[in-house]
Amino acid sequence: MDELDTPVLDNHLHLDPRHGRGMEAVKDFARVGGTHLLVVNKPSWHLGVEAEAGGDFRAVFEETIAAVEEASDLLPGRAWAVLGVHPGLISRLTGERGMDPTEARDLMRAGLDTAAEYVREGRALALKSGRPHYEVDDAVWAASNDALKHALALGADLDCPVQLHTEASEDLTEIAEWAEERGLPREKVVKHYAGGRLRGPTPSVISRREELERAAERGEPFLMETDFIDDPDRPGAVLGPKTVPRRVGWLLEEGREDAVRNGHVETPKRVYGIDTVGTLTGQRA
């Protein structure tokens, strides 16, 4: 494949050098034109951490940052870390460890406080939070929303974006309003694994052609992602690391240069304050 004449950012993927493909996935991404990555920490229990206090998440965050630093050395641009607490943890805490939802919420808030320290120090770019994408009881749902709101308040305090893992929806205006009530602009709330028509937060569109077509037609700010999970038991899940560069090539072939600039230059600048053009070195893995 010819080199793409544009920055190419995958807004949400995971890297697990200890268990998965790690830097080989980064090399694959770069070989087909990828330039920049936002690397999100894996769920804490996937890395063997059963947190009992907020500081226990540090091991997960440090492992993610180490992967980001290694990935940056392989990219023509660079990688950044997105750190937080996976919303599915609440089910693990209440279902397997016997916590009540309030206790689980407080532990997740403490983990988010720890993640916020990394943003404050400049070691991470954004926070991650959300709520379960599956059915839960009312008490767990309320506790999850409380944790999410705490992440939004931290984002406002730090002036940093918050990536969200939530249920599938084309309208999350309510969450965008929660962010604004706490002083965080709605464009700095990013819905991971979004479709192309999302209202409310900025959509990080899963890079399937039909959803990208919808985002391109709409013309609103959007990002692109694979949600690559780097799990050897689920190779290629959700999408492989080559997908975003290949979809960018396809968009360019379709005459969608404006959409590519939107998703890989303008929206990253608008949401994260990052310069995907200025951080290019021109080197390829």
In a domain, 177, yes or no: yes
Using the predicted structure, report yes or no on whether residue 118 has a pLDDT greater than 80.
yes
Cβ neighbours for 71, distance < 8 A, ≥ 6 positions apart: 15, 23, 26, 37, 39, 79
The whole-number pLDDT of residue 251 equals 98
In a domain, 88, yes or no: yes
pLDDT digits (tens, 9 = 90+) for 187-238: 999 999 999 999 999 999 999 999 999 999 999 999 999 999 999 888 768 9
- More confident of the two residues 125 and 232: 125
In a domain, 203, yes or no: yes
Please check whether residue 52 is in contact with residue 99, taking contact to mean a CB–CB distance below 8 angstroms.
Answer: no
Using the predicted structure, report yes or no on whether residue 79 has a pLDDT greater than 50.
yes
- Average the pLDDT over 32-40 and give the result: 98
In a domain, 284, yes or no: no
Tokens, residue 256: 């969608």
Tokens, residue 163: 């990536």
The whole-number pLDDT of residue 40 equals 98
Please check whether residue 101 is in contact with residue 87, taking contact to mean a CB–CB distance below 8 angstroms.
Answer: no
In a domain, 163, yes or no: yes
- Average the pLDDT over 41-47 and give the result: 96
Mean per-residue pLDDT over the chain, rounded: 96
In a domain, 137, yes or no: yes
Using the predicted structure, report yes or no on whether residue 275 has a pLDDT greater than 50.
yes
Using the predicted structure, report yes or no on whether residue 3 has a pLDDT greater than 90.
no
Q: What CATH number should be reported for the domain holding residue 141? A: 3.20.20.140
- Average the pLDDT over 145-172 and give the result: 98
What is the tally of structural domains in the chain?
Answer: 1
Q: How far apart are the first and last CA of the chain?
A: 14
In a domain, 136, yes or no: yes
- Average the pLDDT over 74-90 and give the result: 98
Cβ neighbours for 98, distance < 8 A, ≥ 6 positions apart: none
- Average the pLDDT over 110-126 and give the result: 98
The whole-number pLDDT of residue 237 equals 80
The whole-number pLDDT of residue 4 equals 87
CA distance 90 to 82: 20
The whole-number pLDDT of residue 282 equals 57
Using the predicted structure, report yes or no on whether residue 7 has a pLDDT greater than 80.
yes
- Of 37, 42, 117, 115, nearest in space to 80 by CA: 37
CA distance 23 to 28: 9
Tokens, residue 7: 């920055």
Tokens, residue 143: 């506790």
Using the predicted structure, report yes or no on whether residue 2 has a pLDDT greater than 60.
no
In a domain, 175, yes or no: yes
The whole-number pLDDT of residue 1 equals 37
Please check whether residue 33 is in contact with residue 248, taking contact to mean a CB–CB distance below 8 angstroms.
Answer: yes
Domain enclosing residue 54, as ranges: 9-272
